[in-house]
Amino acid sequence: MTLQELYASINGSYDAVKQVLSMDSLISKFIIRLSSDDSCERLMKAASANDAKGMFEAAHSMKGVCANLGLLDLSSMAGDVAEEFRPGKARKMSDEALAIHLGVIKEKYKATMEAIQKFASEQG
């Protein structure tokens, strides 16, 4: 599959990532590297530990990386979680709503990683 096809399949924005990394070779390089980024994993760990600060930092980190790579959905969702746990701000979401949010992020991230993996193996 082509890079554009990959992005289409994960509901990412090829145009957005092209803004950041102007060359396909770079986009390819970094999207494949996403697997080495541990923000999502850290987010899930912090969630189960009820670590508000940890959740904020991880969600914030994930939001940035995803935005840079054109994964706008994931970025926006991570951003919502980050805002929820911004230091000094009061919680708005209920715990159930938060759990659903995290669940969706986790699923989406997993699907995205699988698609990227497939793309990576095709590159040889």
Partner 1 sequence: MDNISPIEVFSSKKSILVVDDNTMNREILSEILSGDYEILQAENGKIGLSLMQENFSRLSVVLLDVYMPVCNGFEFLEYKQVNHVFDTLPVIVMTASNSVEDEIKCLALGASDFVTKPFVPEVMRNRIKSIIRLKESSAMLDNLEKDRVTQLFSKEFFAFYAKKILAEPTSAKYDIVCAKIQNFQSLNERYNQKYIDDTLVYLTRRLQAVIPEIVIGGKIGPDVLAFLIQHKEKGWEQVLKNAVDAGSPIPFTVKYGIIQDIDRGKSVASLCERTLIALNNVKERFDINIVWYDEVLQRLLLQEQMMIDEMEDALKDKQFHVYFQPKHDMQTGCISGAEALVRWIHPTMGVISPKAFIPLFERNGFLALLDPYIWEECCQEIVRCREKGLPVVPISINVSRALFDIQNIADQIINMTDRYGIDHSLLHVELTESACAEHSIAIEEALEKLHDNGFIVELDDFGAGYSTLTSLRTLALDVMKLDMSIIRYASSTNDYSIIRYAILLAECMKLKTVAEGVETREERDALRVLGCDYAQGYYYSKCLPLEEFETYLIEHNT
Query: What angle do the packed helices 72-84 and 95-123 form, to 10 degrees?
Result: 150
Q: Are 65 and 34 in contact (CB under 8 A)?
A: yes
Q: Are 92 and 84 in contact (CB under 8 A)?
A: yes
From 1-9, 69-77, 100-108, 114-122, span contacting partner 1 (CB under 8 A): 69-77
The reply to whether 43 sits near partner 1 by the rule CB under 8 A is no
Tokens 């494949």 locate to 32
Binding residues for partner 1, how many (CB under 8 A)?
Answer: 28
Q: Which residues bind partner 1 (CB under 8 A)?
A: 16, 19-22, 26, 30, 33-34, 36-37, 39, 56-57, 60-61, 63-65, 67-70, 75, 79, 82-83, 86
